[in-house]
């Protein structure tokens, strides 16, 4: 295992090929390189929860994005509060985003990853300030074990990229999808503000809904799925993340000490709260660990994670919201910035202790 070979030179050799894990699969490998091996105690399948009913994350109907009547809105806010406190995850249906936009977004992502290697290579980068980049694992050099996943990352707001800055094959749908995400993001931040007992616009005024990055993931079939992950266990750094996943499955969320499956639903979008929201809510809402198992099927798995968080560098300061703290409930975190958090995240790599601990008072 780690330590018995020169891991860093093997990581570098893989990275410098700029072909992604998809490139390894295309080359016909039947065993995965050892840089992808996770320790055996991490990859053992977890026992299912010993309970007669299967636990699932809450589903919330957003009524097409129009929550005009106070009664409906109040009941939706109550559901959001419950989910945000107990699961850190929920899925939304009737969210107002047309199904064909969701389908085209998955197609566009797949199109990017399945196009000619030479075209993709032009986007390959690890520069954290770059607004459009493609690579395998943002934490490839800092994590203990790599994951079986390639990602195209595009910053879409507040500065909307010029069409020509985006990859040709997916630019149109990325711009359209982002417009829709910004709208849905606003509604969800309004509901979360109300769920915290704050003014409807509170989180929007803190600029939580202002910045959007898309992480367009491609999880190729993995020849040895029991030795690695698609994404190892982690929490998101964002305020919130809105996830679109395809029909393959593999996403799991930690709940009450057990991993529960988030089963694909073609009409739903999954919302999870990130570390920044847990920090500003002073732990009222939770940012929960989740992971994706390595793809054991024959088709690639596609997902698009819309991260609401500021682009690096950004010096805006965040700490527990004043209205949510008191002498009985003092601030649990010191002030920080997205940039400081992102640096800490990158240095640490996914998996292991919550990055939030570093900011606790
Ligand atoms: C992420 C993430 C899950 C998925 O991008 O942070 O958890 O299903 N993605 O791709
Ligand atoms: Ni995540």
Q: Please, which pLDDT band fits residue 348 given cuts at 50, 70 and 90?
A: confident
DSSP assignment of 242-256: EEEE-SS--EEEEET
In whole angstroms, what is the distance from residue 346 CA to residue 143 CA? 9
3-state SS, residue 158: coil
pLDDT (0 to 100) of residue 309: 96
Q: What is the CATH number of domain 7-41+55-359?
A: 2.60.120.330
Closest CA to 302 of 246, 259, 353: 246
- pLDDT of 185 > 80? The answer is yes
Closest ligand to 217 CA? Answer: 1
- pLDDT of 300 > 70? The answer is yes
Write the DSSP symbol of residue 81.
H
3-state SS, residue 61: strand
**Residue 336 CA, ligand 2 centroid: distance in Å:** 21
Is the preceding omega at residue 313 within 30 degrees of 0, hence cis? yes
Is 240 in contact with 279 (CB distance < 8 Å)?
A: no
Closest atom of ligand 1 relative to the 262 alpha carbon: 8
Residue ID of nearest Cα to ligand 1 atom 10: 303
In whole angstroms, what is the distance from residue 285 CA to residue 1 CA? 38
Closest atom of ligand 1 relative to the 236 alpha carbon: 6
pLDDT (0 to 100) of residue 31: 98
- Check if 303 has its Cβ closer than 6 Å to any atom of ligand 1: yes
Closest atom of ligand 1 relative to the 290 alpha carbon: 7
**Residue 43 CA, ligand 1 centroid: distance in Å:** 18
Closest ligand to 250 CA? Answer: 1
Closest atom of ligand 1 relative to the 250 alpha carbon: 8
Task: State phi, psi for 143 to the nearest 5 degrees.
Answer: -80, 160
Please choose from 105, 250, 303, 349 the residue to mutate so as to test ligand 1's pocket, defined by most ligand atoms within 8 A of CB. 303
Report the range of poorest mean pLDDT among 24-33, 68-77, 342-351. 342-351
- Check if 236 has its Cβ closer than 6 Å to any atom of ligand 1: yes
Residue ID of nearest Cα to ligand 1 atom 2: 305
In whole angstroms, what is the distance from residue 360 CA to residue 287 CA? 14
**Structure-token match 């359209």, residue found:** 176
pLDDT (0 to 100) of residue 213: 97
State the average pLDDT over residues 47-72. 81
Q: What is the pLDDT of residues 93-146, one digit of tens each?
A: 999 999 999 999 999 999 999 999 999 999 999 998 899 999 999 999 999 999
Q: What is the pTM of this model?
A: 0.96
Q: What is the pLDDT of residues 233-260, one digit of tens each?
A: 999 999 999 999 999 999 999 999 999 9
Q: Please, which pLDDT band fits residue 282 given cuts at 50, 70 and 90?
A: very high
Please choose from 109, 138, 213, 231 the residue to mutate so as to test ligand 1's pocket, defined by most ligand atoms within 8 A of CB. 231
Residue ID of nearest Cα to ligand 1 atom 1: 305
Helix axes 171-195, 70-86, angle to 10 degrees: 90
pLDDT (0 to 100) of residue 19: 97
State the average pLDDT over residues 262-278. 98
State the average pLDDT over residues 56-80. 89
């Amino acid at each position: 295992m780690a330590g018995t070979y020169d891991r860093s030179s093997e990581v570098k050799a893989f990275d410098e090929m700029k072909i992604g894990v998809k490139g390894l699969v295309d080359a016909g490998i039947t065993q995965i390189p050892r840089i992808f091996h996770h320790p055996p105690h991490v990859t053992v399948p977890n026992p299912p929860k010993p309970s007669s009913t299967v636990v699932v994350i809450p589903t919330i109907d957003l009524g097409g994005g129009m929550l005009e009547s106070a009664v409906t809105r109040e009941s939706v806010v109550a559901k959001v509060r419950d989910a945000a406190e107990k699961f850190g995850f929920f899925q939304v249906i009737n969210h107002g985003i047309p199904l064909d936009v969701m389908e085209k977004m998955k197609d566009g992502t797949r199109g990017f990853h399945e196009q000619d290697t030479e075209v993709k290579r032009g986007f390959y980068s690890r520069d954290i300030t770059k607004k459009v980049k493609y690579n395998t694992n943002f934490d490839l050099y800092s994590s203990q074990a790599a994951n079986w996943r390639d990602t195209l990352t595009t910053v879409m707001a507040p500065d909307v990229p010029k069409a020509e800055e985006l990859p040709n094959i997916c630019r149109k749908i990325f711009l359209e999808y982002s417009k829709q995400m910004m709208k849905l993001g606003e509604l969800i931040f309004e509901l979360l503000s109300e769920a915290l007992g704050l003014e409807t616009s509170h989180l929007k005024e803190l600029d939580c809904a202002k910045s959007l990055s898309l992480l367009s993931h491609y999880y190729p079939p993995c020849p040895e799925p029991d030795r690695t992950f698609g994404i190892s266990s982690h929490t998101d750094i964002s305020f919130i993340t809105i996830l679109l996943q395809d029909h393959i499955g593999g996403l799991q969320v930690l709940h009450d000490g057990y991993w529960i499956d988030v089963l694909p639903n073609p009409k739903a979008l999954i919302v999870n709260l990130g570390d920044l929201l847990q920090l500003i809510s002073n732990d009222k809402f939770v940012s929960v660990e989740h992971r994706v198992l390595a793809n054991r099927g024959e088709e690639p798995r596609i997902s698009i994670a819309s991260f609401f968080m500021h682009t690096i560098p950004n010096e805006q300061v965040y700490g527990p919201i004043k209205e949510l703290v008191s002498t009985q409930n003092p601030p649990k975190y010191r002030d920080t910035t997205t940039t400081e958090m992102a640096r800490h995240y990158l240095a640490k790599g996914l998996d292991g202790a919550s990055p939030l601990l570093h900011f606790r008072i």
